[in-house]
Structure 1
């Protein structure tokens, strides 16, 4: 019930849990929740009355040690929380509803749960790539229609991921999780990531490359970059036209990175195949032409949001709260970087 404290208020640090649009039982296994309740005075604001939860958050500000969730935190609200040491965002993005500079000035740790989604998304991306390589989902549809073996896929034949030329656009959490999954296929992997020095990539056996080269040399191209002020439609008509004939593109990160009109036009013309998990508008309108386009594997933002990822978030929150309460820095969630936070262009999960 919203606003109901857990524990007896015996001096333990107060932690507000307000993870909307998720609930605390989505994130925390019973034993993890019990451990948190033992170490901290939990103010659970996962009720069904948003107004009551908002009022309870306001009342808790003077004593709160940490906030788990992503409520609005303008500068004046941060100022009313003199004991606040950390904001632990469990939605996965650094959202624009928080005054990050006010937090940085106070030394408040602002953390996000993006790393928890990296492995699920990476595994899903690999699955999409294998589907594009061999036409798995298309063969399923053909079989159900009694047309198995009659419809060619990708120019009449599949391709191998083994020893393929692979490109990664972005090498953050997702790229670092996908890299070891690709290793058994022994591909050549080129990476475009302007936020990393080439030495970081070379140390991992990767080939740093400009965007044009990464696209032009890749039989499989994974789009893994987050949305920033600089990369809107990074892959537009010119860049997509560089892809070799029959290339496979997998998009699992953020929709604004790709010009969808240009992408769908290339797929419709038979120049490339694509698998898309994120869309500029979600849910995709029922009459959207992408739903009828051959050569396109469709997914509705399903790559990361699985129970294992949510429970990993809960464990990461527990671990970092315990460290913070012990006077140590957090190590599991992703910290907001002062140099980057103003460049993200992320939207909350409930409105994607």
Structure 2
């Protein structure tokens, strides 16, 4: 296909790269079918009218103004490979023009759900602490090492949030025959019931669960909504597992609740990343730590590229995107997650 005939796609996937999200074979397909113009996310407006007028797709989530969008009459879709929906463009203009805003964030759902299961099992059986004790020659053998152990099977489990990650978590927990309660104010009861979970209030999820998984996105309505009162309402010894974003939690209150011995916890996310070396959570007993690595698998990144290619092909043929998740006009502007800085 001649250069002038190929649709133009602006590539601004920072902090990701095309090499991260596409296999070598998929990247070759992308470049053979599209003219790719690589750009700094903050410099889209400076690309010039020739490029902007031809651009059919943007791969990434660069900040865009209405004035820049007015110079892009051919734009059909913004394919967000950062996964968080940032409030950095006039979504009302995009929706009015019928420009699809889609995200590949669901590729992280299963990897994060699986590590969440690992956190729960480790907290329930003391796996990480037992390993450290063994390395240092102070292990407890047999029943002595199980004084606080419990089974995940048949446990009362609570999930806060039931988007892609909540659904994936429910799937990986299905073999444990647990009783699962879910709180999600954006989800109808009938949908929750169709997934075999019990709709519940936040108070019920917190106070009636042995394990509480937090998988809710940060929105304008829930920032810091889980604080000291929430942790105090939990069963003594219950496990609090934070998998989505730290901003939904009062992190100091979480640290205090674990330090008091009232609950145990695990987290893959933190208020500041990387976490300062002197942060109290680093040495906190009863707290299982992971460095925001739950979803960052190469297989997940490469799945992003396949989804992007499939949806671009659909839109090239006048069809709507189906593999990526489309942003909704009613909720997109409420999202408040911080952009990722590391893959």
Equivalent position SS for 1:68? strand
Give the aligned partner of residue 39 of structure 1. 33
Taking the TM superposition and a 5 Å limit, the aligned residue runs for 1:266-305 are 266-305=257-296
Whole-Å separation in 1 of the counterparts to 2:62 and 2:337: 15
**Residues 152-205 of structure 1 deviation map (CA, whole Å, 9 limit, x = unaligned):** 999932111000000000000100111110000000000000001111111111
Equivalent position SS for 1:87? strand
- Residues 1:222 and 2:213 aligned together: yes
Taking the TM superposition and a 5 Å limit, the aligned residue runs for 1:24-103 are 24-45=18-39, 55-56=46-47, 60-103=51-94
**Residues 94-144 of structure 1 deviation map (CA, whole Å, 9 limit, x = unaligned):** 112211111111110011111111111111111111111111111111111
Gaps spanning 5+ residues in structure 1: where?
1-6
Give the aligned partner of residue 234 of structure 2. 243
Whole-Å separation in 1 of the counterparts to 2:55 and 2:177: 50
**Residues 279-308 of structure 1 deviation map (CA, whole Å, 9 limit, x = unaligned):** 111111110111111000011111111111
Match of 1:117 among 93, 99, 108: 108
CA contact (8 A) 1:16 1:57 kept: no
Whole-Å separation in 2 of the counterparts to 1:155 and 1:232: 37
Change (3 A) 1:54 1:305: farther
**Residues 210-263 of structure 1 deviation map (CA, whole Å, 9 limit, x = unaligned):** 000011110010000000111122211111111111101110101111111211
Whole-Å separation in 1 of the counterparts to 2:48 and 2:108: 27
Give the aligned partner of residue 159 of structure 1. 150
- Residues 1:16 and 2:7 aligned together: no
How many positions carry a matched residue from both structures? 343
TM-score, normalised by the number of residues in structure 2: 0.95
Change (3 A) 1:154 1:205: farther
Deviation at 1:38, TM superposition (A): 2.8
Give the aligned partner of residue 200 of structure 1. 191
CA contact (8 A) 2:214 2:244 kept: yes
Give the aligned partner of residue 96 of structure 2. 105
Whole-Å separation in 2 of the counterparts to 1:201 and 1:52: 43
- The range that moved more, 329-338 or 7-16, is 7-16
Whole-Å separation in 2 of the counterparts to 1:283 and 1:339: 33
CA contact (8 A) 2:84 2:339 kept: yes
Deviation at 1:350, TM superposition (A): 1.4
Change (3 A) 1:258 1:286: same
Whole-Å separation in 2 of the counterparts to 1:296 and 1:181: 22
**Residues 325-350 of structure 1 deviation map (CA, whole Å, 9 limit, x = unaligned):** 01000011111110001211111101
Give the aligned partner of residue 318 of structure 2. 327
Change (3 A) 1:226 1:58: farther
CA contact (8 A) 1:15 1:64 kept: yes
Whole-Å separation in 2 of the counterparts to 1:87 and 1:51: 15
Question: Cα RMSD (Å) of the superposition?
Answer: 2.2
CA contact (8 A) 1:154 1:246 kept: no
Equivalent position SS for 1:62? helix
Whole-Å separation in 1 of the counterparts to 2:189 and 2:42: 49
Gaps spanning 5+ residues in structure 2: where?
none
Equivalent position SS for 2:285? coil
- The range that moved more, 114-123 or 188-197, is 114-123
